[in-house]
A = this chain, B = another copy of it.
Amino acid sequence: MCQLLGLNCNSPIHVGFSFSGFAQRGGRTDEHRDGWGIAFFEGGHDKGVRHFVDTQPACESPMAKFVRSYPIKSRNVISHIRKATRGPVALENCHPFVRELWGRYWVFAHNGTLEDFSPRLHASFQPVGGTDSEWAFCWLMQELAKSHAGMPQLAELTITLRELSAQIAGHGTFNFLLSNGLALWAHASTHLHYLERRHPFAHAQLKDADLVIDFAAHNHPADKVAVVVTAPLTTNEDWRAFSPLSMKVFVDGQAV
């Protein structure tokens, strides 16, 4: 299995604090040593993507250290640490995966294992690596492309994604994060938690590292930040568990 981290905000933020705690689970406070990855939307209209993947454990990777220290600011971030179940440890099997659809990049990361899920991929999205996760992502992209001629409104897109996710979730554990830079969709089969940080901001204590942050000192009162993660990142905040087989969509730092 693996672990997921997603952030969705109403203005670009540094992800250093959350990623610092999360990366410790990539081999130090947890067993996910088989690679990691992170993608940040950035640039005009949140259309550009910075994408980092690595086969080293996140807790030791020089690239993870660089990402923690480099002040990348983004409104939509997806990260993943991997414990290989399907597909060997290789760069092409590291999440998140990226594809383009309707002139936007889409970023996807998955936690769980799917059984007997290999629908025919007859269109223009084919997996590069050997994971069930990338296969599921390609199928999602294919079916989205078939369902809508161009990018639909958020509500309509969410209905389609909910229907498609339910079909995949029948084949196993399908906790996933998906973003196109405008919204963050999160689907839970089993374990997924979320938190909405907003004014008044308080101190937060990481669970996986000896690190405390005073969000009041780092955030503007108008800031809103939604964090979605496999297991809560901090010990003193109000994390809520997703109901099994549910999907939420986050826009501008809050659940819609």
* Residue in B93, B105, B128 whose beta carbon sits within 8 Å of that of A128 in the complex: B105
Type the 1/0 row for A223-239, where 1 means its CB is closer than 8 Å to any CB of B.
00000000000000000
Determine the chain B residues whose CB is within 8 A of the CB of A93 once the complex forms.
43, 48
Interface status of A90 (Cβ within 8 A of chain B): yes
| Whole-angstrom distance between the Cβ of A199 and the nearest chain B Cβ | 29
Q: How far is the CA of A124 from the CA of B92 in the complex (A)?
A: 22
Interfacial residues of chain A within 41-96, with CB under 8 A of chain B in the complex:
42-44, 47-53, 55, 62-63, 66, 70, 88, 90-94
Q: Which residue of the partner chain B has the closest CB to A47?
A: B92
Does chain B have a CB within 8 A of A246?
no
When the two chains form their complex, are residues A103 and B124 in contact, meaning their CB atoms are under 8 A apart? no
Residues of chain B with a CB closer than 8 A to A123's CB: 124
B129 near A92 (CB under 8 angstroms)?
A: no
Q: Which residues of B contact A214 (CB under 8 A)?
A: none
Cα separation A105 to B127 with both chains bound (whole Å): 10
- Find out whether the CB atom of A47 lies under 8 angstroms from the CB atom of B100: no
Query: B125, A100: Cβ atoms under 8 Å?
Result: yes
How far, in whole Å, are A43 and B62 apart by their CA atoms in the complex?
Answer: 18
In contact, A42 and B91 (Cβ under 8 angstroms) = yes
User: A207 interface residue, CB < 8 Å from B?
Assistant: no
Name the B residues within 8 Å of A127 (CB-CB). 103
- Once bound together, how far apart are the Cα atoms of A42 and B100, in whole Å? 21
Q: Is the CB of A49 within 8 A of B91?
A: yes
Q: With an 8 A cutoff between CB atoms, is A240 at the interface? A: no
Residue in contact with A94 in the complex, picked from B48, B51, B63, B103, CB distance below 8 Å: B48
Is A255 part of the binding interface, using a Cβ–Cβ cutoff of 8 Å? no
Query: B90, A103: Cβ atoms under 8 Å?
Result: no
B100 adjacent to A44 (CB under 8 Å): no
What is the bound-complex CA distance between A123 and B102, given in angstroms?
10
Docked CA distance A128–B43 (Å): 11
Given A44-B92, A91-B49, A92-B47, A100 and B129 contact (CB-CB distance below 8 Å): no
State the CA gap A91–B41 with chains docked (Å).
9
A128 and B145 in contact (CB under 8 A), knowing A43-B55, A66-B66, A90-B44? no
Determine the residue in chain B with the shortest Cβ distance to A98.
B98
**Which among A52, A92, A129 has the highest number of chain B CB atoms within 10 Å?**
A92
Additional 12 contacts, C-beta under 8 A, given A50-B53, A63-B70, A102-B126: A43-B55, A43-B90, A43-B93, A44-B88, A47-B91, A48-B128, A50-B91, A63-B66, A100-B126, A101-B126, A103-B126, A124-B124
